[in-house]
A and B are shown apart, each in its own frame.
Chain A
Protein backbone atom coordinates (compact mmCIF):
# COMPACT_ATOMS: atom_id res chain seq x y z
CA UNK A 1 0.00 0.00 0.00
CA UNK A 2 1.32 3.39 -0.99
CA UNK A 3 1.02 6.49 1.18
CA UNK A 4 -1.65 7.88 -1.15
CA UNK A 5 -3.94 5.05 -0.07
CA UNK A 6 -3.08 5.52 3.60
CA UNK A 7 -4.07 9.16 3.08
CA UNK A 8 -7.60 8.01 2.19
CA UNK A 9 -8.21 5.12 4.59
CA UNK A 10 -10.40 5.57 7.65
CA UNK A 11 -11.31 3.29 10.52
CA UNK A 12 -14.70 1.70 9.97
CA UNK A 13 -15.33 0.11 13.36
CA UNK A 14 -18.96 0.88 14.10
CA UNK A 15 -18.32 2.09 17.64
CA UNK A 16 -15.39 4.32 16.63
CA UNK A 17 -15.94 7.81 18.10
CA UNK A 18 -17.13 10.24 15.40
CA UNK A 19 -14.39 12.46 14.02
CA UNK A 20 -11.61 10.25 15.38
CA UNK A 21 -11.53 7.54 12.73
CA UNK A 22 -8.89 9.39 10.68
CA UNK A 23 -5.96 9.33 10.18
CA UNK A 24 -4.73 5.85 11.06
CA UNK A 25 -1.32 5.98 12.78
CA UNK A 26 1.40 3.91 11.11
CA UNK A 27 3.59 1.98 13.56
CA UNK A 28 6.58 -0.34 13.14
CA UNK A 29 6.73 0.38 9.44
CA UNK A 30 8.96 -1.31 6.92
CA UNK A 31 8.99 0.83 3.79
CA UNK A 32 10.09 0.26 0.23
CA UNK A 33 10.60 2.69 -2.63
CA UNK A 34 8.68 1.92 -5.80
CA UNK A 35 9.84 2.77 -9.26
CA UNK A 36 6.60 4.36 -10.48
CA UNK A 37 6.35 6.41 -13.64
CA UNK A 38 5.95 10.15 -12.97
CA UNK A 39 2.87 11.72 -14.52
CA UNK A 40 2.56 15.43 -13.71
CA UNK A 41 -1.05 15.62 -14.84
CA UNK A 42 -2.08 12.77 -12.56
CA UNK A 43 -0.35 14.31 -9.54
CA UNK A 44 -2.12 17.61 -10.27
CA UNK A 45 -5.51 15.88 -10.37
CA UNK A 46 -4.65 14.00 -7.20
CA UNK A 47 -3.78 17.08 -5.12
CA UNK A 48 -7.41 18.11 -4.37
CA UNK A 49 -8.01 14.60 -2.98
CA UNK A 50 -5.09 14.77 -0.54
CA UNK A 51 -5.29 15.59 3.14
CA UNK A 52 -2.10 17.61 3.06
CA UNK A 53 -1.56 17.82 6.81
CA UNK A 54 -1.81 14.04 7.11
CA UNK A 55 0.47 13.43 4.14
CA UNK A 56 2.98 15.88 5.60
CA UNK A 57 2.97 14.41 9.12
CA UNK A 58 3.06 10.83 7.83
CA UNK A 59 5.97 11.58 5.52
CA UNK A 60 7.79 13.27 8.40
CA UNK A 61 7.14 10.52 10.96
CA UNK A 62 8.28 7.83 8.53
CA UNK A 63 11.35 9.86 7.61
CA UNK A 64 10.42 9.95 3.92
CA UNK A 65 10.45 13.69 3.26
CA UNK A 66 9.94 17.13 4.75
CA UNK A 67 6.95 18.56 2.90
CA UNK A 68 6.09 22.27 3.10
CA UNK A 69 3.57 23.43 5.71
CA UNK A 70 0.94 24.16 3.08
CA UNK A 71 0.23 22.40 -0.17
CA UNK A 72 1.70 24.59 -2.94
CA UNK A 73 -1.17 26.51 -4.57
CA UNK A 74 0.61 26.58 -7.91
CA UNK A 75 2.87 23.55 -7.78
CA UNK A 76 6.08 23.62 -9.75
CA UNK A 77 7.46 20.53 -11.48
CA UNK A 78 9.70 20.01 -8.41
CA UNK A 79 6.67 20.15 -6.09
CA UNK A 80 4.85 17.59 -8.21
CA UNK A 81 7.92 15.34 -8.23
CA UNK A 82 8.09 15.57 -4.45
CA UNK A 83 4.41 14.67 -4.02
CA UNK A 84 4.89 11.81 -6.48
CA UNK A 85 7.82 10.50 -4.48
CA UNK A 86 5.97 10.66 -1.16
CA UNK A 87 2.46 9.57 -2.16
CA UNK A 88 3.04 7.27 -5.13
CA UNK A 89 6.53 5.87 -4.70
CA UNK A 90 6.55 5.13 -0.98
CA UNK A 91 5.06 1.77 -0.17
CA UNK A 92 4.38 0.43 3.29
CA UNK A 93 5.35 -3.22 3.17
CA UNK A 94 4.89 -4.23 6.80
CA UNK A 95 3.29 -2.16 9.55
CA UNK A 96 0.39 -1.71 11.87
CA UNK A 97 -2.17 1.01 11.31
CA UNK A 98 -3.72 2.02 14.59
CA UNK A 99 -6.91 4.00 14.97
CA UNK A 100 -6.48 6.70 17.60
CA UNK A 101 -10.24 6.80 18.10
CA UNK A 102 -10.98 3.21 19.06
CA UNK A 103 -7.55 1.57 19.13
CA UNK A 104 -8.31 -0.95 16.40
CA UNK A 105 -5.15 -2.30 14.77
CA UNK A 106 -5.17 -2.90 11.01
CA UNK A 107 -2.08 -4.96 10.16
CA UNK A 108 -0.22 -4.55 6.87
CA UNK A 109 1.51 -7.70 5.62
CA UNK A 110 3.35 -8.05 2.31
CA UNK A 111 2.02 -4.64 1.36
CA UNK A 112 -1.64 -5.60 1.90
CA UNK A 113 -3.57 -3.87 4.68
CA UNK A 114 -6.13 -6.10 6.37
CA UNK A 115 -9.25 -3.97 6.79
CA UNK A 116 -11.47 -6.87 7.90
CA UNK A 117 -13.29 -6.47 11.21
CA UNK A 118 -14.63 -9.00 13.69
CA UNK A 119 -18.41 -9.49 13.64
CA UNK A 120 -18.85 -7.49 16.86
CA UNK A 121 -17.03 -4.47 15.36
CA UNK A 122 -19.27 -4.08 12.31
Chain B
Protein backbone atom coordinates (compact mmCIF):
# COMPACT_ATOMS: atom_id res chain seq x y z
CA UNK B 1 0.00 0.00 0.00
CA UNK B 2 2.72 2.41 1.04
CA UNK B 3 4.57 1.45 -2.10
CA UNK B 4 1.54 2.22 -4.25
CA UNK B 5 1.24 5.67 -2.68
CA UNK B 6 4.89 6.45 -3.23
CA UNK B 7 4.59 5.41 -6.86
CA UNK B 8 1.47 7.49 -7.35
CA UNK B 9 3.01 10.64 -5.91
CA UNK B 10 6.06 10.49 -8.13
CA UNK B 11 5.51 11.88 -11.62
CA UNK B 12 5.96 9.16 -14.19
CA UNK B 13 8.68 9.90 -16.70
CA UNK B 14 7.12 10.17 -20.11
CA UNK B 15 9.18 7.98 -22.47
CA UNK B 16 11.87 9.64 -24.59
CA UNK B 17 11.18 9.21 -28.32
CA UNK B 18 12.68 6.21 -30.08
CA UNK B 19 15.77 7.48 -31.93
CA UNK B 20 17.26 4.09 -32.77
CA UNK B 21 16.95 4.78 -36.52
CA UNK B 22 19.59 7.53 -36.17
CA UNK B 23 23.18 6.27 -36.24
CA UNK B 24 26.58 7.75 -35.47
CA UNK B 25 26.96 8.75 -39.07
CA UNK B 26 23.73 10.78 -38.90
CA UNK B 27 25.06 12.69 -35.91
CA UNK B 28 27.86 14.03 -38.11
CA UNK B 29 25.18 16.11 -39.82
CA UNK B 30 22.59 16.74 -37.12
CA UNK B 31 22.75 17.61 -33.44
CA UNK B 32 22.65 14.54 -31.21
CA UNK B 33 20.24 15.01 -28.29
CA UNK B 34 22.25 15.98 -25.22
CA UNK B 35 21.74 17.46 -21.73
CA UNK B 36 20.07 20.59 -23.11
CA UNK B 37 17.63 18.48 -25.14
CA UNK B 38 16.75 16.28 -22.19
CA UNK B 39 16.27 19.29 -19.92
CA UNK B 40 13.88 20.67 -22.55
CA UNK B 41 11.93 17.39 -22.49
CA UNK B 42 11.74 17.45 -18.67
CA UNK B 43 10.46 21.01 -18.84
CA UNK B 44 7.74 20.20 -21.35
CA UNK B 45 6.62 17.33 -19.18
CA UNK B 46 6.44 19.67 -16.19
CA UNK B 47 4.54 22.20 -18.32
CA UNK B 48 2.14 19.68 -19.81
CA UNK B 49 -0.90 20.96 -17.93
CA UNK B 50 -0.06 24.59 -18.75
CA UNK B 51 0.28 23.78 -22.46
CA UNK B 52 -2.88 21.65 -22.59
CA UNK B 53 -4.83 24.46 -20.94
CA UNK B 54 -3.93 26.73 -23.87
CA UNK B 55 -5.86 24.35 -26.13
CA UNK B 56 -3.07 24.52 -28.73
CA UNK B 57 -4.00 23.88 -32.35
CA UNK B 58 -0.69 24.86 -33.98
CA UNK B 59 2.70 23.99 -32.47
CA UNK B 60 5.98 24.87 -34.16
CA UNK B 61 9.55 24.05 -33.26
CA UNK B 62 12.41 26.07 -34.74
CA UNK B 63 15.63 24.15 -35.37
CA UNK B 64 14.18 20.70 -34.77
CA UNK B 65 17.40 18.73 -35.46
CA UNK B 66 16.67 15.05 -34.77
CA UNK B 67 12.98 15.84 -34.16
CA UNK B 68 13.24 14.52 -30.61
CA UNK B 69 11.58 17.54 -28.91
CA UNK B 70 8.56 17.89 -31.20
CA UNK B 71 7.90 14.14 -31.24
CA UNK B 72 8.11 14.16 -27.44
CA UNK B 73 5.66 17.07 -27.18
CA UNK B 74 3.22 15.43 -29.58
CA UNK B 75 3.24 12.16 -27.66
CA UNK B 76 3.08 14.03 -24.35
CA UNK B 77 -0.08 15.90 -25.34
CA UNK B 78 -1.75 12.82 -26.89
CA UNK B 79 -4.55 11.83 -27.13
CA UNK B 80 -5.05 15.56 -27.52
CA UNK B 81 -4.09 16.41 -31.12
CA UNK B 82 -2.46 19.50 -32.58
CA UNK B 83 -0.75 20.38 -35.84
CA UNK B 84 2.99 19.96 -35.34
CA UNK B 85 5.31 21.88 -37.66
CA UNK B 86 9.09 22.09 -37.53
CA UNK B 87 11.70 24.19 -39.26
CA UNK B 88 15.40 23.70 -39.71
CA UNK B 89 17.86 25.33 -42.07
CA UNK B 90 19.77 22.05 -42.36
CA UNK B 91 18.20 19.55 -44.83
CA UNK B 92 19.66 16.60 -42.91
CA UNK B 93 17.69 17.79 -39.87
CA UNK B 94 14.45 18.05 -41.89
CA UNK B 95 14.92 14.43 -42.98
CA UNK B 96 15.83 13.23 -39.49
CA UNK B 97 12.79 14.97 -37.99
CA UNK B 98 10.46 13.19 -40.42
CA UNK B 99 12.17 9.85 -39.76
CA UNK B 100 11.82 10.30 -36.01
CA UNK B 101 8.16 11.26 -36.42
CA UNK B 102 7.47 8.17 -38.53
CA UNK B 103 9.39 5.85 -36.18
CA UNK B 104 7.26 7.11 -33.29
CA UNK B 105 3.97 7.18 -35.22
CA UNK B 106 3.60 10.95 -34.91
CA UNK B 107 2.46 13.24 -37.74
CA UNK B 108 4.79 16.20 -38.32
CA UNK B 109 5.39 18.48 -41.29
CA UNK B 110 9.04 19.53 -41.55
CA UNK B 111 9.91 22.71 -43.43
CA UNK B 112 13.32 23.87 -44.56
CA UNK B 113 13.31 27.45 -43.36
CA UNK B 114 15.31 30.08 -41.56
CA UNK B 115 13.59 30.49 -38.16
CA UNK B 116 9.89 30.96 -38.99
CA UNK B 117 7.92 30.31 -42.18
CA UNK B 118 5.27 32.86 -43.23
CA UNK B 119 2.05 31.32 -41.89
CA UNK B 120 -1.50 32.56 -42.31
CA UNK B 121 -2.37 31.36 -38.81
CA UNK B 122 -0.67 32.14 -35.55
CA UNK B 123 1.22 29.63 -33.43
CA UNK B 124 -0.05 28.52 -30.02
CA UNK B 125 3.12 26.82 -28.78
CA UNK B 126 6.52 27.82 -30.12
CA UNK B 127 9.67 25.90 -29.12
CA UNK B 128 13.30 26.77 -29.73
CA UNK B 129 16.53 25.22 -28.52
CA UNK B 130 18.68 27.82 -30.28
CA UNK B 131 22.35 27.86 -31.18
CA UNK B 132 23.30 29.48 -27.85
CA UNK B 133 27.04 28.80 -27.71
CA UNK B 134 29.20 31.95 -27.90
CA UNK B 135 31.35 31.67 -31.06
CA UNK B 136 32.98 34.06 -33.52
CA UNK B 137 30.29 35.79 -35.63
CA UNK B 138 31.75 34.25 -38.77
CA UNK B 139 30.54 30.80 -37.66
CA UNK B 140 26.88 31.90 -37.64
CA UNK B 141 24.70 31.35 -40.72
CA UNK B 142 25.88 27.92 -41.77
CA UNK B 143 23.40 25.38 -43.23
CA UNK B 144 25.24 22.45 -41.65
CA UNK B 145 25.38 20.99 -38.14
CA UNK B 146 27.34 24.09 -37.06
CA UNK B 147 24.02 25.97 -37.24
CA UNK B 148 22.88 23.83 -34.30
CA UNK B 149 25.20 25.51 -31.84
CA UNK B 150 27.09 28.52 -33.25
CA UNK B 151 25.45 31.53 -31.63
CA UNK B 152 27.96 34.27 -32.39
CA UNK B 153 28.70 37.01 -29.87
CA UNK B 154 27.36 36.04 -26.43
CA UNK B 155 25.55 33.20 -28.23
CA UNK B 156 22.89 35.79 -28.98
CA UNK B 157 23.03 36.45 -32.72
CA UNK B 158 20.32 33.98 -33.76
CA UNK B 159 18.24 34.52 -30.61
CA UNK B 160 18.28 38.28 -31.19
CA UNK B 161 17.05 37.81 -34.74
CA UNK B 162 14.06 35.78 -33.55
CA UNK B 163 12.85 37.83 -30.55
CA UNK B 164 11.34 40.71 -32.59
CA UNK B 165 9.31 38.15 -34.62
CA UNK B 166 7.75 36.33 -31.66
CA UNK B 167 4.85 38.66 -30.89
CA UNK B 168 3.48 38.61 -34.47
CA UNK B 169 3.98 34.85 -34.78
CA UNK B 170 2.20 33.84 -31.57
CA UNK B 171 -1.54 33.67 -30.99
CA UNK B 172 -3.07 35.75 -28.16
CA UNK B 173 -2.77 32.88 -25.70
CA UNK B 174 0.42 31.56 -27.27
CA UNK B 175 3.49 30.46 -25.35
CA UNK B 176 7.14 30.39 -26.33
CA UNK B 177 9.71 28.10 -24.68
CA UNK B 178 13.41 28.66 -25.27
CA UNK B 179 16.63 27.10 -23.98
CA UNK B 180 19.41 29.52 -22.99
CA UNK B 181 22.69 29.52 -21.08
CA UNK B 182 23.91 32.20 -18.67
CA UNK B 183 26.27 33.64 -21.32
CA UNK B 184 23.14 34.70 -23.26
CA UNK B 185 22.28 37.01 -20.31
CA UNK B 186 18.71 35.87 -19.64
CA UNK B 187 17.90 39.01 -17.65
CA UNK B 188 18.65 41.11 -20.71
CA UNK B 189 16.36 38.82 -22.75
CA UNK B 190 13.65 39.48 -20.18
CA UNK B 191 14.01 43.24 -20.73
CA UNK B 192 13.85 42.82 -24.51
CA UNK B 193 10.69 40.72 -24.27
CA UNK B 194 9.10 43.04 -21.69
CA UNK B 195 9.50 45.66 -24.42
CA UNK B 196 7.19 43.51 -26.59
CA UNK B 197 4.75 43.18 -23.64
CA UNK B 198 5.82 39.62 -22.84
CA UNK B 199 6.44 38.18 -19.40
CA UNK B 200 9.33 35.79 -18.91
CA UNK B 201 9.62 33.02 -16.40
CA UNK B 202 12.57 30.71 -15.81
CA UNK B 203 10.75 27.38 -15.57
CA UNK B 204 13.79 25.10 -15.30
CA UNK B 205 17.51 25.36 -14.66
CA UNK B 206 20.41 22.94 -14.51
CA UNK B 207 24.16 22.90 -14.53
CA UNK B 208 25.48 20.52 -17.21
CA UNK B 209 29.28 20.42 -17.39
CA UNK B 210 30.27 24.03 -17.82
CA UNK B 211 26.88 25.04 -19.23
CA UNK B 212 24.35 26.69 -16.94
CA UNK B 213 21.15 25.89 -18.77
CA UNK B 214 17.84 27.65 -18.29
CA UNK B 215 14.49 27.11 -19.95
CA UNK B 216 12.47 30.27 -20.41
CA UNK B 217 8.72 30.53 -20.78
CA UNK B 218 7.49 33.66 -22.51
CA UNK B 219 3.85 34.66 -22.76
CA UNK B 220 1.90 37.88 -23.23
CA UNK B 221 1.46 40.13 -20.21
CA UNK B 222 -2.09 39.91 -18.91
Instruction: Name A's B-contacting residues (CB within 8 A).
Output: 1-2, 4-5, 7-12, 21-22, 34, 36, 39, 41-42, 45-46, 49, 51, 88, 110-117
Q: Is there an interface contact between B57 and A49, defined as CB atoms closer than 8 Å? A: yes
Identify 8 residue pairs between A and B in the complex whose beta-carbon atoms are under 8 Å apart, listed by A's number: A1-B110, A5-B109, A8-B120, A39-B79, A110-B95, A111-B110, A115-B117, A116-B113
Q: Which residues of A contact B1 (CB under 8 A)?
A: none
Q: Is there an interface contact between A115 and B111, defined as CB atoms closer than 8 Å? A: yes
Q: Which residues of A contact B57 (CB under 8 A)?
A: 45-46, 49
Closest to A111 in B: B98
CB proximity of A97 to chain B, nearest CB, Å? 11
Q: Name 12 extra pairs, CB < 8 A, besides A5-B83, A41-B81, A49-B57.
A: A2-B109, A8-B121, A9-B118, A9-B120, A10-B119, A39-B79, A45-B55, A112-B110, A112-B111, A112-B112, A116-B112, A116-B114
Say if the beta carbon of B58 comes within 8 Å of chain A: yes
Closest to B117 in A: A115
Closest to A7 in B: B120
Say if the beta carbon of B153 comes within 8 Å of chain A: no
Closest to A34 in B: B107
Q: Is there an interface contact between A22 and B85, defined as CB atoms closer than 8 Å? A: no
Q: Is there an interface contact between A115 and B109, defined as CB atoms closer than 8 Å? A: no
- Bound Cα distance A9, B109 (Å): 12
CB proximity of B29 to chain A, nearest CB, Å? 15
Q: How many of chain B's residues have a CB under 8 angstroms from any CB in A?
A: 26
CB interface residues, B 56-109, toward A, < 8 Å: 57-58, 79, 81-83, 85, 87, 89, 91, 94-95, 98, 107, 109
Closest to A54 in B: B120
Closest to A22 in B: B120
- Bound Cα distance A111, B98 (Å): 9
* Interchain residue pairs A-B with the least CB separation, the first 9: A42-B81, A12-B118, A115-B113, A10-B118, A5-B109, A114-B112, A112-B94, A39-B81, A8-B119
Known: A42-B82, A110-B95. A12 touches B117 (CB 8 A): yes
CB proximity of B109 to chain A, nearest CB, Å? 4
Q: Is there an interface contact between A88 and B107, defined as CB atoms closer than 8 Å? A: yes
- Bound Cα distance A46, B120 (Å): 13
- Bound Cα distance A12, B89 (Å): 16
Q: Which residues of B contact A39 (CB under 8 A)?
A: 79, 81
- Bound Cα distance A112, B89 (Å): 11
- Bound Cα distance A72, B192 (Å): 44
Q: Is there an interface contact between A49 and B121, defined as CB atoms closer than 8 Å? A: yes
Q: Is there an interface contact between B95 and A112, defined as CB atoms closer than 8 Å? A: yes
Q: Is there an interface contact between A21 and B82, defined as CB atoms closer than 8 Å? A: no
CB interface residues, B 167-190, toward A, < 8 Å: none
CB proximity of A89 to chain B, nearest CB, Å? 9
- Bound Cα distance A22, B118 (Å): 10
